[in-house]
Amino acid sequence: MVCFRIFLTALGASRRCSFDISALDALRGAPPLIIAPNHPCMLDAVMVISRLPNVACVLKTELMRNVFLGAGARLARYIRNEPVQRMIREAVADFDCGSQLLLFPEGTRTVADPVNPLKGSVALIAHRARVPVQTVLIETDTRYQSKGWTLFRKPAMPIHYRVRLGRRFEPPQDVQQFMAELEHYFAHELVQGSAFYPAHTLPAHGEGARPMTTRSLS
């Protein structure tokens, strides 16, 4: 958490990026729950973890083996995403420590605007652990670090990121019905195009939390 916060502070100080992510502070000290954001870019996990001291994260297995990230991820009790049954067992067991779980329901960065089809693991874990699902809505005005963005392609700067808390869903009884409801919620709350705002269209802090509709962008 401290390392990621320093990293984001440095980015902000450089004036290349701005981060409006203080809404996440409301989750500090909250009881065990699943934190479920959309996933527009590679900085999403960094932003969430930078504000929350007691959160475990579901990571791709190859990242757990990464020479730079693996040791820290294992020390932080992060959870491999494969095999799926093991991931679910470890995630459920981790709630016994009082921690929260960061899990991206899309499973990968967004490629289908406004949100990819969701994976059912978030519902299975919530159902078995009997914990709520807190949705988190991440918005930015660029496709930088989105899926398919090439390494040496320079983005327009400054880049703006905003995080807001969405609806908190109670532990599901019916997994399939829950996933349909969750996907419907993301698709309608992240209005067409809102995950990738055109440049300079993010409302200033305090000017209102709801994103512009497709009609207002056209």
- The pLDDT of residue 49: 95
Amino acid symbol at 3? C
Q: Per residue in 72-94, pLDDT tens?
A: 888 887 999 888 899 999 999 99
| pLDDT band per the 50, 70, 90 thresholds, residue 194 | low
In this prediction, residues 94-110 reach a mean pLDDT of 92
- The pLDDT of residue 191: 66
Q: Which residue has the tokens 């207002």?
A: 216
CA distance linking residue 191 with residue 118, whole number of Å? 16
Q: What is the CATH number of the domain that holds 149?
A: 3.40.1130
**pLDDT above 70 for 61:** yes
- The pLDDT of residue 62: 83
Q: Per residue in 198-218, pLDDT tens?
A: 444 444 444 443 333 332 332
3-state secondary structure string across the chain: CHHHHHHHHHHHHCCCEEEECHHHHHHCCCCCCEEEECCCCCCHHHHHHCCCCCEEEEECHHHHCCCCCHHHHHHCCCEECCCHHHHHHHHHHHHHHCCEEECCCCCCCCCCCCCCCCCCHHHHHHHHHCCCEEEEEEEECCCCCCCCCCCCCCCCCCEEEEEEEEEEECCCCCHHHHHHHHHHHHHHHCCCCCCECCCCCCCCCCCCCCCCCHHHHC
Q: Which two tokens stand for residue 110?
A: 């967004």
Domain span holding position 77? 2-217
Q: Is the bond leading into 37 cis (omega within 30 degrees of zero)?
A: no
**pLDDT above 90 for 182:** yes
Amino acid symbol at 200? H
- The pLDDT of residue 148: 85
The β-bridge partners of 160 are 18
CA distances from 130 to 11, 53, 81, 83, 113 (A): 38, 22, 20, 21, 31
- If one counts the domains in the chain, the total is 1
CA distance linking residue 213 with residue 216, whole number of Å? 5
Q: Which of 48-62, 71-85, 160-174 shows the lowest per-residue confidence on average (mean pLDDT)?
A: 71-85
- Between strands 159-169 and 133-140, the pairing is antiparallel
In this prediction, residues 61-74 reach a mean pLDDT of 81
- The pLDDT of residue 196: 47
Look over the chain and give the mean of its residue pLDDT values, rounded to a whole number: 85
